[in-house]
């Protein structure tokens, strides 16, 4: 490659790196603000209003006012997430586009000293993109704009595909991944979104289970429900924290208990998973014991006529 082109490419990569750094800092600051409940552009509600429980003597009108304020605060927060995610998406599209061209060698071969920086740019860009996609999902769920494209799908296929996609991570941590798949009729779901739910649960199982652990993914039926379980023998979730894990921006586990949550852990995965499952008319629950196991159970309604008795299919 000519020297001039190389210099231009180096300059462009430095620009991208700095754009990426700025975007990352902005997202971190934003995530922290939102986590503190401070991400409101227009509404000012004293912190005490949010933190204080209702006092016993509070009148009905005071309670109504407080409720309305919290409602408004929540809407502003959703609006802010939505605006921020959309604003981040445009520059991210350009960054991803250029990085793809560079890493595929379409702008010329990548010189040796730039192999590592380019690989790092790719990894971090994927993280940022995932965070932005998650923020967009949160805003779609909060505003009721998430649309399902339903289709008759085999839950076992969706589970297999999610397991395959995350294989690199399970191999890296030497996890033993087992499956237990019973005969299950097709479910009428948005395949991409349920795949996303399973991926989220599986990614958590990998993240919160130390090396050499065991992960079990099972699919079966229970009456009117198709049932998917993801169980791990990892760090578990403290009893007092279990009620909070489905809230957005929840990062419950103290960092000293796990090393892998890392900066890309926004605490949005379960909030989105729950939103998607509820939108399907299903349910999601967790059972866990600290330092022993965590098991998430997802129930999705079977198509009428595909009910089952005692785990076996009665009619398809």
* Residue in 82, 204, 218, 288 binding Mg ion, rule: CB under 5 A: 204
User: Which of 234, 269, 275, 282 touches Mg ion (CB under 5 A)?
Assistant: 269
Site size for Mg ion (CB under 5 A): 2
Q: Which does 141 bind (CB under 5 to 8 A by kind): Mg ion, ligand ATP, none?
A: none
Q: Which stretch binds ligand ATP (CB under 6 A): 59-67, 100-108, 169-177, 205-213?
A: 205-213
Choose one: 33-41, 183-191, 219-227, 246-254; the region binding ligand ATP (CB under 6 A).
246-254
Shortest CB 200 distance to Mg ion, Å: 6
Give dist(CA 209, CA 224) in Å, integer.
32
Least separation in angstroms between CB 242 and Mg ion: 15
| Contact window for ligand ATP (CB under 6 A) among 36-44, 52-60, 251-259, 277-285 | 251-259
Is residue 208 close enough to count as binding ligand ATP by CB under 6 A?
Answer: yes
Q: Which of 166, 232, 300, 306 binds ligand ATP (CB under 6 A)?
A: 232
Question: Should residue 218 be labelled a site residue for ligand ATP when binding is judged by CB under 6 A?
Answer: no
How far is residue 62's CA from residue 202's CA, in Å, rounded to a whole number? Answer: 44
Interaction pattern, residues 14-33, with ligand ATP; x per rule: CB under 6 A: --------------------
| Residue number with the smallest Cβ distance to ligand ATP | 269
Query: How far apart are CB 132 and ligand ATP at their closest, in Å?
Result: 12
Site string for ligand ATP, 284-303 (x = CB under 6 A): ----------x---------
DSSP secondary structure string, the chain? --HHHHHHHHHHHHHHHHHHHHHHHHHHHHHHHHHTT---SS----HHHHHSPPPTT--HHHHHHHHHHHHHHHHHHHHHHHHHHHHHHHHHHHHHHHHHHHHTTBTBPPPHHHHHHHHHHHHHHHHHHHHHHHHHHHHHHHTT------EEE-HHHHHHHHHHHTHHHHHHTT-EEEEEE-----EEE-HHHHHHHHHHHHHHHHHTS-TT-EEEEEEEEETTEEEEEEEE-SS---GGGTTTTTSTT---S-GGG-S---TT--S-HHHHHHHHHHHTT-EEEEEEETTTEEEEEEEEEBPTT--EETTEES--
Q: Which does 250 bind (CB under 5 to 8 A by kind): ligand ATP, Mg ion, none?
A: ligand ATP
Can you give the binding site for ligand ATP, defined by CB under 6 A? 134, 200, 204-205, 207-208, 232, 234-237, 245, 250-253, 261, 265-271, 294
């Amino acid at each position: 490659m000519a020297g001039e082109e190389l210099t231009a490419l180096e300059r462009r990569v430095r620009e991208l790196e700095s754009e990426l750094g700025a975007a990352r800092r902005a997202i971190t600051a934003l995530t922290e603000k939102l986590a503190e409940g401070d991400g409101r552009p227009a509404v000012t509600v004293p912190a005490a209003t949010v933190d204080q429980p209702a006092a016993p003597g509070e009148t009905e009108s005071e309670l109504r006012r407080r409720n309305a304020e919290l409602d408004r605060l929540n809407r502003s927060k959703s609006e802010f997430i939505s605006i921020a995610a959309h604003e981040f998406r445009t520059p991210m599209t350009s960054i991803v586009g250029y990085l793809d061209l560079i890493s595929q060698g379409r702008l010329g071969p990548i010189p040796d000293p730039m192999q590592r920086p380019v690989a790092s740019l790719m990894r971090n860009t994927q993280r940022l993109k995932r965070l932005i996609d998650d923020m967009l999902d949160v805003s779609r769920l909060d505003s009721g704009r998430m649309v399902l494209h339903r289709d008759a799908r085999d839950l076992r296929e969706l589970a297999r595909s999610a397991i395959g996609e995350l294989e690199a991570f399970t191999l890296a941590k030497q996890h033993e991944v087992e499956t237990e798949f019973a005969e299950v009729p097709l479910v009428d779901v948005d395949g991409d979104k349920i795949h996303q739910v399973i991926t989220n649960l599986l990614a958590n199982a990998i993240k919160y289970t130390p090396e050499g652990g065991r992960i079990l993914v099972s699919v079966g039926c229970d009456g009117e429900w198709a049932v998917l379980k993801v169980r791990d023998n990892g760090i578990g979730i403290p009893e007092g924290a279990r009620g909070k894990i489905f809230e957005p921006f929840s990062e419950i586990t103290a960092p000293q208990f796990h090393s892998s949550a890392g900066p890309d852990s926004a605490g949005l995965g379960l909030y989105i998973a729950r939103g998607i499952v509820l939108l399907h008319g299903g349910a999601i629950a967790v059972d866990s014991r600290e330092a022993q196991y965590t098991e998430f159970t997802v129930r999705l309604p079977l198509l009428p006529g595909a009910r089952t008795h005692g785990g076996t299919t009665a009619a398809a």
